[in-house]
């Protein structure tokens, strides 16, 4: 249990650190003064600051953090290096950078998974890498290492050809011509059609330490999950699917299960959570980055900023509502674990 808690704290701490680091880096690039860069919330445990520079601090509760910029307080708006004195585009870049860094972290984590742990699928070959136990392929007698030469008399040139043909023939008997060692044998199998596509339970050969292909998969899967999460949010809002949200307590429980399956799966989970964090922060909810982006867009349309006092009040109300929502989600997570 202790290892799970430590893994959860390290994971969430990394995601938050990267998010705030995005704000920090872009703020420095556009010459906005960063007053404090903090990891964690609550009581300060450690801090360091050079004269006139940024204060770096580590705080008691690791599930949080912030990057405090000069000018976020209305009284500092006119000072040199203030956030409010910078062009609109520069301010938008600073606010958006946190979520963009979370997406970039997901790319890195997915790439590491495919490079070090899982390997890259070798789609140019027709050799079977793995057979799912209890699957149709397993029952038919297919084995890992078999090379599929043809299906129903059609030559299979690569793995994509194999998957396309099997997918197109659910619940219909197909005949595979397979090379096993020096022998060529014929095996019949009926693809399962539960999902509408034919599946027999085979996976391609995976090869580790393939650099560029691992990076490409990192980008592909990050984009895939960004789209998936947005679609899921829309379906939850419209009532198509039930709302199912996990807070820190729920995440710890998920990490506990995933940790048992290996470090690669833990990295994969961290990438998905990082994407979630990036997307949630872009939603137009008061106190989150998305609402600040909305205020900046409105400023661009109106030609003048929103009253800082009104904007601050809206963010305060939003922050209060978020805290209450987090407490409710934590209660829901605890209830699930107990009952």
Could you list the active site residues?
20
Question: Shortest CA distance to 250 belongs to which of 269, 264, 235?
Answer: 269
Cβ neighbours for 131, distance < 8 A, ≥ 6 positions apart: 137, 138, 142, 143, 144, 201, 202, 203
Residue 249: is it exposed, middle or buried by C-beta count within 10 angstroms (0-12/13-18/19+)? middle
Measured distance CA(95)–CA(281) in Å, rounded? 10
Phi then psi dihedrals of residue 262, to 5 deg: 120, 160
Non-local (6+) Cβ contacts of 246 within 8 A are 253, 254, 329, 333
Q: Which long-range contacts (CB under 8 A, 24 or more apart) does 174-183 make?
A: 175/151, 176/142, 176/148, 176/150, 176/151, 177/148, 177/149, 177/150, 177/151, 178/142, 178/146, 178/147, 178/148, 178/149, 179/146, 179/147, 179/149, 180/143, 180/145, 180/146, 180/147
Asked if 335 and 101 count as a contact pair (C-beta separation under 8 A), the reply is no
Determine the 3-state secondary structure of 22 from DSSP.
helix
**Which string of DSSP letters, residue by residue, matches 68-92?**
EETTSSGGGTTSTT-GGGS-HHHHH
The two three-digit tokens of residue 89, written as one number: 């585009």
User: Cα separation of 322 and 327, whole Å?
Assistant: 9
Beta bridge partners of 65: 39
Q: Which residues of 27-36 are buried (b: 16+ CB within 10 A; e: fewer)?
A: beeeebbbbe
């Amino acid at each position: 249990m202790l290892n799970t808690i430590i893994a959860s704290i390290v994971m969430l701490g990394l995601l938050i650190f990267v998010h705030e680091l995005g704000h920090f880096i872009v703020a420095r690039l556009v010459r906005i003064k960063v007053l404090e860069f903090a990891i964690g919330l609550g009581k300060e445990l450690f801090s360091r600051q050079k004269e006139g520079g940024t204060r770096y601090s580590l705080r008691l509760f690791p599930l949080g953090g912030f990057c405090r910029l000069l000018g976020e307080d209305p009284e500092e708006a006119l000072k040199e290096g203030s956030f409010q004195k910078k062009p609109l585009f520069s301010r938008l870049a600073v606010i958006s950078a946190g979520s963009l860094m979370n997406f970039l972290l997901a790319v890195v984590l997915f790439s590491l998974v495919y490079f070090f742990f899982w390997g890259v699928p070798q789609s140019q070959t027709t050799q079977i890498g793995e057979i799912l136990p209890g699957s149709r392929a397993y029952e038919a007698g297919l084995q890992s290492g078999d090379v599929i030469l043809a299906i129903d008399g059609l030559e299979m040139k690569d793995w994509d050809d194999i998957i396309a043909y099997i997918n197109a023939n659910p619940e219909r008997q197909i005949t595979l011509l397979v090379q096993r060692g020096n022998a060529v044998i014929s095996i019949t199998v009926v693809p399962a059609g539960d999902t509408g596509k034919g599946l027999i339970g085979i996976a391609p050969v995976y090869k580790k330490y393939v650099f560029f292909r691992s990076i490409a998969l990192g980008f592909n899967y990050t984009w895939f999950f960004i789209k998936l999460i947005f679609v899921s949010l829309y379906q939850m809002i419209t009532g198509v699917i039930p709302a199912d949200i996990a807070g820190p307590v729920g995440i710890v429980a998920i990490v506990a299960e995933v940790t048992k399956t290996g470090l690669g799966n833990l990295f994969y989970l961290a990438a998905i959570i990082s994407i979630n964090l990036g997307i949630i922060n872009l939603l137009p909810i008061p106190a989150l980055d998305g609402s600040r982006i909305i205020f900046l867009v409105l400023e661009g349309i109106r030609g003048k900023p929103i009253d800082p006092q009104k904007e601050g009040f809206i963010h305060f109300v939003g922050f209060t509502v978020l805290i209450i929502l987090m407490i409710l989600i934590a209660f829901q997570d605890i209830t699930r674990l107990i009952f």
